[in-house]
């Protein structure tokens, strides 16, 4: 946590990209957890992901071609199917045989749901064909084919730990998220008190009503309430519900390497809503997220000089929880046992 790098969690589902970023018949290459991955969408819409490295000479497969079903290497034309198994070696003569099943680049389980492509990054030695025991997170109240209404992403030049701390930091907004139309004055801090409880792979701020004078009432209708869940390996899921509308906001931090992160912010909203406002919404989301990005760029400067960091109560208690659940996740894997949530319900107080 102190330095530039973070431990990366394995055996987890990560958000790779929006479904709309991968058209049928196309591929997208990405680095995730330091591994080169090539995503492809077959002509029938089915998505797969293979390791972006040809087992023949190690060249990235992204430089090759995709025929809508299999990926061909640019060097000698070997082809690989969705399981990462070689299906063709053009140089072979009729009397030469090779066991294709032994020539593999490796593949990853993927799920294409709710407009998002999720990828499972298994633990060492876990065979992808065994399949993950878990499911990627699902946005409550939305169907499998409900696409997001607004989405942005930004590269954060920091580890997932520092990205996560920013995500769950309740006291930076007045200083970082300022603009002429929003929170102009950081001196007017108010006391806050919120209840938290353990939840799946993390914790949540217990569902609470939003006061009727809040602007949310104009948008969501009556009896507006919100719940925010934080869970491994790096998701903040906010669920706002009123008599008229429901919105789920997902912020996902996906490790590119142990010191670089991609942050996605995605909103699902009840039918017919938000779509006309998409350009404005996405602009404001980008302005906000870029404010978070700018501070981690500045923080990196300090960390590169070897500066130490600290955590205080209660403002940084959630950062402590992050390190605790993460520690338990890694320990449970090392011990070969199930994850046991180490957190207890707690009320946190701060000024923001
Ligand atoms: S390097 Fe890929 S086919 Fe030879
Ligand atoms: Fe922020």
Query: So where are the chain's domains?
Result: 12-130, 150-351
Ligand 1 in contact with 59 (CB < 6 A)?
yes
Q: What is the model's pLDDT at position 8?
A: 97
pLDDT tens by residue, the chain, 352 residues: 568 999 999 999 999 999 999 999 999 999 999 999 999 999 999 999 999 999 999 999 999 999 999 999 999 999 999 999 999 999 999 999 999 999 999 999 999 999 999 999 999 877 655 667 789 999 999 999 999 999 999 999 999 999 999 999 999 999 999 876 665 566 689 999 999 999 999 999 999 998 888 877 788 888 999 999 999 999 999 999 999 999 999 999 999 999 999 999 999 998 776 677 889 999 999 999 999 999 999 999 999 999 999 999 999 999 999 999 999 999 999 999 999 999 999 999 999 9
What is the 23 CA–ligand 1 centroid distance (Å)? 25
Index of the ligand 1 atom closest to the CA of residue 78: 3
- Of 55, 87, 53, whose CA–CA distance to 69 is shortest? 87
Number of neighbouring beta carbons within 10 Å of residue 267: 20
- Cβ < 5 A residues, ion ligand 2: 292
Pocket test for ligand 1, best of 70, 76, 91, 103 (most atoms within 8 A of CB): 76
CATH number attached to the domain at 150-351 = 3.90.380.10
What is the 109 CA–ligand 1 centroid distance (Å)? 24
Index of the ligand 1 atom closest to the CA of residue 59: 1
Cα angle 85-91-97, degrees, rounded to a multiple of 5: 65
Report the chain's terminal Cα–Cα distance, integer Å: 24
Pocket test for ligand 1, best of 58, 75, 89, 100 (most atoms within 8 A of CB): 75
Q: How far apart, in Å, are the Cα atoms of 70 and each of 35, 206, 207, 317?
A: 20, 47, 47, 48
What are the φ and ψ backbone dihedral angles of 212, each rounded to 5 degrees? -60, -25
Alpha-carbon dihedral 42, 256, 143, 149, rounded to 10 degrees: -100
What is the 36 CA–ligand 1 centroid distance (Å)? 16
Q: Which fold is adopted by the domain 12-130?
A: Rieske Iron-sulfur Protein (2.102.10)
């Amino acid at each position: 946590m102190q330095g530039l790098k973070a431990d990366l969690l394995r055996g987890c589902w990560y958000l790779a990209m929006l479904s709309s970023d991968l058209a049928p018949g196309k591929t997208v290459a990405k680095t995730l957890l330091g591994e080169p991955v090539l995503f492809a969408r077959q002509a029938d819409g089915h998505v797969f992901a293979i390791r972006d490295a040809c087992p023949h000479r190690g060249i990235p497969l992204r430089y090759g071609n995709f025929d809508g079903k299999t990926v061909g290497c640019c060097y000698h034309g070997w082809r690989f199917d969705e399981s990462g198994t070689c299906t063709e070696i053009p140089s072979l003569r009729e009397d030469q045989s090779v066991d294709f099943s032994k020539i593999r680049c490796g593949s990853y389980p993927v799920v294409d749901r709710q407009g998002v492509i999720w990828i499972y990054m298994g633990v060492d030695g876990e065979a992808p064909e065994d399949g993950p025991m878990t499911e990627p997170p699902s946005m409550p109240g939305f169907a499998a084919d409900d696409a997001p209404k607004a989405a942005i992403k930004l590269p954060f030049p920091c580890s997932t730990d520092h990205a996560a701390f920013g995500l769950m930091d309740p006291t930076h907004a007045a200083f970082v998220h300022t603009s002429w139309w929003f929170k102009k004055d950081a001196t007017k801090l108010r006391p806050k008190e919120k209840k938290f409880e353990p939840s799946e792979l993390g914790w949540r701020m217990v569902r609470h009503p939003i006061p009727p004078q809040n602007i949310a009432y104009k948008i969501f209708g009556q009896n507006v309430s919100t719940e925010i869940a934080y869970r491994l390996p790096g998701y903040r899921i906010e669920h706002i519900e009123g008599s008229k509308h429901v919105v789920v906001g997902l912020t996902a931090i996906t490790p590119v390497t142990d010191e670089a992160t991609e942050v996605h912010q995605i909103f699902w909203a009840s039918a017919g809503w938000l779509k006309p406002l998409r350009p404005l919404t996405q602009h404001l989301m980008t302005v906000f997220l870029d404010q978070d990005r700018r501070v981690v760029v500045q923080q990196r400067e300090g960390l590169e000089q070897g500066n130490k960091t600290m955590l205080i109560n209660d403002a940084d208690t959630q950062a402590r929880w992050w390190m605790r659940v993460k520690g338990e996740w890694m320990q449970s894997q090392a011990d070969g046992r199930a994850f046991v949530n180490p957190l207890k319900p707690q009320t946190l107080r701060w000024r923001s």
